[in-house]
Chain A
């Protein structure tokens, strides 16, 4: 599903490697953690996957397609297959919960009838059925992140990428978010979560890809320390 082949990234005007000769492969339907200290290169991997930035060298394949072959005008259609969630939620403060999720469908020109049918289902799934008419500012952090997740899965992406999704949340709320991600994963969506929350990663017993200074240091199922 996702293949990095000898990927190196050096940012413009930077002499240090952000990523160094990284090769890794993630199968369809997998749930993987991407761990490492701040500056290890986690967000760089995510930005490369979204084709927000280009690798300095190496190849990135998603579903067999080489990202460097995707033309500028086809990029939006590729992005529809990859959902993304950030640490800071990035909700539109002027729209309600329902509207924030519906916005995602409007942006790809989904008919209104479909929107009205699908959005309540997804809100139900993330546990926000009763909050649909509230504005983000009236919600707790965990609830806001649920809205962001609902928004990123409402168009049925094949892959869901989360960059520090629980970075601003307490452990209990974080566990709830992780359970939600597992639920989504169980429906077939491939999930990649970048985080530096070691306790949580240890508890989840999933595949963990560990980075240090842009280099792969370990890749195994189970805990983070051992």
Chain B
């Protein structure tokens, strides 16, 4: 069995060398398909990464009534704490709120509120709540608002809604582009491998006369397709890596291309995800292309 596999592998490598023009064409088509897919993936990964950052910075402010009882406050805290999507709760006392407001106003302007202290602060105490999922904020806000002792709940409603719909759109777009490109890539490879198979129809026909089984005849082609796919994937990973570093490097000088000061996803993260996907995707494309092609020529 091992010997048989050795023969397959040797055949596949020999065939790649012999049909070097065809092989280069196959690898190039794998590369071009994967590069486009890679660019789309990099964009999707970045959108995800940036959305995560925006999501992380979203918070819900739960303002508490001044005359709240300790029991009420505890009930509110427990209720928030029991929500699954909550990642962090901070308590902001009336004094904290005042200080924070002072800071925001700056030294020159804080004179306006210089008469206020902890006891007569007009600013309410609050819980500042952070969420894992932006989509959960709206519901949570409504629920908490109904609790006794809550004066009001406030969050960046517009930001959250815009973010959610943008995210949805990007996800959908990514899948559509990926699906279309995959079809095109498989089609290109199918045709290229078809030519490779066609250039070897003699060999296939002889093997059939000799009494080789279909599995045996298919195998070298499948391995050949897989090798071409993996090779194409490796080339694309290298090309994309350089391209991505170049882009990240080019953007590093400019202060902020992105609206809210977020950064691009780190190259390591992007390349790790892309490399894994590519190797499997390359194998998939090569194998599919070969398998479909050889099928056409087995009925000698």
Chain A residues within CB distance 8 Å of chain B: 50, 52, 73, 76-81, 84, 90, 92, 94, 103-104, 106-109, 111-112, 151-152, 155
Contacts and interface: CB of A to CB of B under 8 A. Distances in A.
Q: Report the interface size class on chain B.
A: 10 to 19
A84 B216 CA distance: 20
Contact of B213 (A76, A84, A152): A76
A109 B207 CA distance: 12
A101 to B, nearest CB: 11
Given A90-B205, A90-B206, A92-B206, A107 B212 contact: yes
A78 B202 CA distance: 21
Contacts of B208: 76, 79
Contacts of A77: 211
B214 interface: yes
A77 B212 CA distance: 8
Nearest to A75: B211
B205 A78 contact: no
Contact of A50 (B4, B202, B209): B209
B207 A107 contact: yes
Interface in B207-233: 207-214, 216
Contacts of B203: 92
B212 A111 contact: no
A107 B3 contact: no
B299 to A, nearest CB: 10
A46 B208 CA distance: 15
Nearest to B15: A94
B202 A76 contact: no
Nearest to A86: B209
B170 interface: no
Contacts of A78: 211
B300 A52 contact: yes
16 contacts: A50-B209, A52-B300, A73-B213, A73-B214, A76-B211, A76-B213, A78-B211, A79-B209, A79-B210, A80-B210, A92-B203, A103-B210, A107-B211, A107-B212, A108-B211, A109-B4
Contact of A108 (B205, B212, B214): B212
Nearest 7 Cβ contacts at the A-B interface:
A80-B211, A79-B211, A107-B212, A76-B211, A76-B213, A107-B210, A107-B207
Contacts of B7: 106
Contacts of A52: 300
Contacts of B209: 50, 79, 84
B74 interface: no
Contacts of A112: 3
Nearest to A80: B211
B3 A111 contact: yes
B212 A76 contact: yes
Contacts of B211: 76-81, 107-108, 155
Contacts of A107: 207, 210-212, 216
Contacts of A152: 210
A106 B18 CA distance: 19
Contacts of B210: 79-80, 103-104, 107-108, 151-152, 155
